[in-house]
Amino acid sequence: MWEIIEWIIWIILAYCSFSFVFGCRLLTKEGRGFHLATGVQALFFFIITILFLAFDWSKFHILWITPVCFFWARDIVFPGFPIFTPVVLFFTKIFLNIALIGVKRPKTNQQEINFTSQEDPTLKVMENQKEIEKVIKVLERINQDFLSQGIIESVCSITDGVKKLIFKDCGRYISIIQEGKSVEVVVYSEIVNLSCDMLEKKSTIEEGRLTEEYVQNLLRVIDLSLDKLAELGDIDAKKAEDQKIIIRNNLGR
C-alpha cells in the first residue's frame, strides 16, 4: 500500500518536472521568455525525479525536498551565493540548451533574463549576477547609513522597496548600470523617487496613515540621498537644494 503511494508521489513529481520543461519550451516558442529562476527550478525538479528513480530512497522525502528546492531556486538567482550560484547557473545553461533543442529561438526580450536567445545566456546571466550583487551590497550599506543617521527603522526599510523595484525590472536597471551609471547613483535616485511618490500621496498623510514622525524621517532620507547624488556628481549642489525646497513646497511646508 505504502509503496503504491510512494510511486504516485514520484509520478506527480515527474509530471511537474516535464511540465516545467514543456512550459520553458512553449514560452520560448512564443518569444515571451522566462525568468532564470524558472530554469533553475526545472533543473532541480528533473534531478530530483532522476535520483528518486535511480536510488531506492523513500519517495516520501519528495514531499519536503521538492518545495524546498522550488523556493530555494529563487534565492540562488537573487541574491545568489558566491561560489554555489555560478556552478548552478552553469549546469542550468547546459540543461536548458538541451531542453530547448528544436525550438526556434527569437531575440531576447530585454525585460527578462531569458534563455531563448542565440547569444550565450550564461555570459549574460553572470554579468547580470555581478551587477545585482553590487546593488544588494549598496542597498545594505545605505540602510545601515540611514540607521546610523537616526532614521527610524520603518523608513530605512524603503531600501527594501527599492530592491523590489529593481528586481522587478532588473533588465532595464542593469542596462543603465552597464552603460556607465554608477550603482550608487541608480540606487539613491530610486530612493528619492520612491520617497517622493509616498509623500505626494497627500491622502495618506491627511488620513493619518503616515505619521508626522514618518514624514519627517522620509524628508531626511530624501535630503541625505540628494546630498549624496550631489557628492557623486550626478546633480549639482544647487539643484539638490532646489529639489528639497520644491518637495517641501508640494507638501505645503
Are residues 183 and 134 in contact, defined by beta-carbon separation less than 8 angstroms? yes
Residue where one domain finishes, among candidates 118, 141, 172: 118
Q: Which of 189, 142, 147, 187 is nearest to 167 (CA)?
A: 187
Give the model's pLDDT for residue 136.
Answer: 82
Residue where one domain finishes, among candidates 69, 86, 118: 118
**Are 76 and 142 part of one and the same domain?**
no
**Are 180 and 78 part of one and the same domain?**
no
Under DSSP, the state recorded for 234 is S
Predicted confidence (pLDDT) at residue 206 exceeds the cutoff of 70: no
Distance in angstroms (rounded) separating the CA atoms of residues 3 and 108:
45
pLDDT tens for each residue of 2-56: 889 999 999 999 999 999 899 888 877 776 667 778 888 899 999 999 999 999 8
**Are 111 and 155 part of one and the same domain?**
no
**Are 29 and 109 part of one and the same domain?**
yes
Give the model's pLDDT for residue 78.
Answer: 58
C-alpha dist (Å) from residue 121 to 33, 36, 51, 78: 12, 10, 27, 16
Residue where one domain finishes, among candidates 118, 152, 167: 118
Give the model's pLDDT for residue 90.
Answer: 85
Provide the pLDDT confidence category of residue 121 given band limits of 50, 70 and 90. very low
**Are 140 and 185 part of one and the same domain?**
yes
Residue 119 burial class via C-beta count within 10 angstroms: exposed 0-12, middle 13-18, buried 19 and up: exposed
**Are 135 and 222 part of one and the same domain?**
yes
pLDDT tens for each residue of 82-94: 677 778 888 888 8
Are residues 79 and 30 in contact, defined by beta-carbon separation less than 8 angstroms? no
Are residues 174 and 135 in contact, defined by beta-carbon separation less than 8 angstroms? no
**Are 42 and 87 part of one and the same domain?**
yes
Under DSSP, is residue 32 helix (H, G, I), strand (E, B) or coil? coil
**Are 114 and 137 part of one and the same domain?**
no
Predicted confidence (pLDDT) at residue 60 exceeds the cutoff of 70: yes
Least confident window among 108-122, 128-142, 154-168: 108-122
Residue that has been written with the C-alpha cell 509530471 in this structure: 15
**Are 10 and 69 part of one and the same domain?**
yes
**Are 94 and 166 part of one and the same domain?**
no
Give the model's pLDDT for residue 241.
Answer: 92
**Are 167 and 210 part of one and the same domain?**
yes
Cis bond leading into 106, ω under 30°? no
- What is the percent of the chain with per-residue pLDDT over 70, rounded to a whole number? 82
Give the model's pLDDT for residue 135.
Answer: 82
Provide the pLDDT confidence category of residue 79 given band limits of 50, 70 and 90. low
Question: For residues 189 and 176, which has the higher predicted lDDT (pLDDT)?
Answer: 189
Please give the average per-residue pLDDT across 199-207, as a whole number.
60
Distance in angstroms (rounded) separating the CA atoms of residues 46 and 82:
24
**Are 38 and 108 part of one and the same domain?**
yes
Give the model's pLDDT for residue 103.
Answer: 80
Give the model's pLDDT for residue 117.
Answer: 39
Number of folded domains that form the chain: 2
Domain that holds residue 59: 2-118
Predicted confidence (pLDDT) at residue 75 exceeds the cutoff of 50: yes
